[in-house]
Amino acid sequence: MEEVIITSKFTIYNTIEELPIETQNLFKQAAEAQKNAHAPYSKFRVGAALSLDNGKIILGSNQENAAYPSGLCAERVALYQAASNFPESKILKIVITAAPEATGIPTAIPPCGACRQSIAEYEIKQDSPIKIYFMGEIGKIYKSESLKNLLPLIFNKKLL
């Protein structure tokens, strides 16, 4: 028997003002995208903004559907839009902001499992890490240098 310890490393920012201006602007755009969420069932709005190596910014918001689980998370909406419109571009970073409609949540909201797998696919495809920043509506901001911090044992095509 062998025991393996896997660790994750995050940088935590106390305020958005501690982030580089470019990342602050991405969060502002993600917050605007969050307003376009269609979340009549969960009442939980999520916004995402992707920064591409061609200088483009791609936005996404969660889109729910009464026929669960037919909806999509903000992260995947933005990822798929980037892949469809700019298939040769690399994703440099993704920022995510989320909150219930009724109250601000001070806990940083990371991507769900399905979004983690989707981000992993793009990291593998582009052979370079994607920086991931996430927060609640208020509170601390977490930064991961790669999806591997959130999903260290990635399932990929090599395993098929």
14 is in an annotated binding site: no
- Report the distance separating Cα 132 and Cα 160, nearest Å: 27
25 is in an annotated binding site: no
81 is in an annotated binding site: no
63 is in an annotated binding site: yes
Exactly one of 75, 123, 137, 145 is catalytic; which is it? Answer: 75
65 is in an annotated binding site: yes
149 is in an annotated binding site: no
- Report the distance separating Cα 33 and Cα 25, nearest Å: 12
- Report the distance separating Cα 67 and Cα 90, nearest Å: 33
- For 90-108, give one letter per residue: b (16+ CB within 10 A) or e: bbbbbbbbbbeeeeebeeb
2 is in an annotated binding site: no
64 is in an annotated binding site: yes
Q: In what order do the strands lie in the sheet with 44-52?
A: 11-13, 141-144, 131-135, 91-100, 44-52, 57-61
Q: Is 75 a known active-site residue?
A: yes
73 is in an annotated binding site: yes
Cis peptide preceding 69, ω within 30 of 0: yes
24 is in an annotated binding site: no
Degrees (nearest 5) of the Cα angle 104, 109, 114?
135
Bind-site residues: 62-68, 73, 112, 115
Q: Which residues are catalytic?
A: 75
Bind-site residues for substrate: 62-68
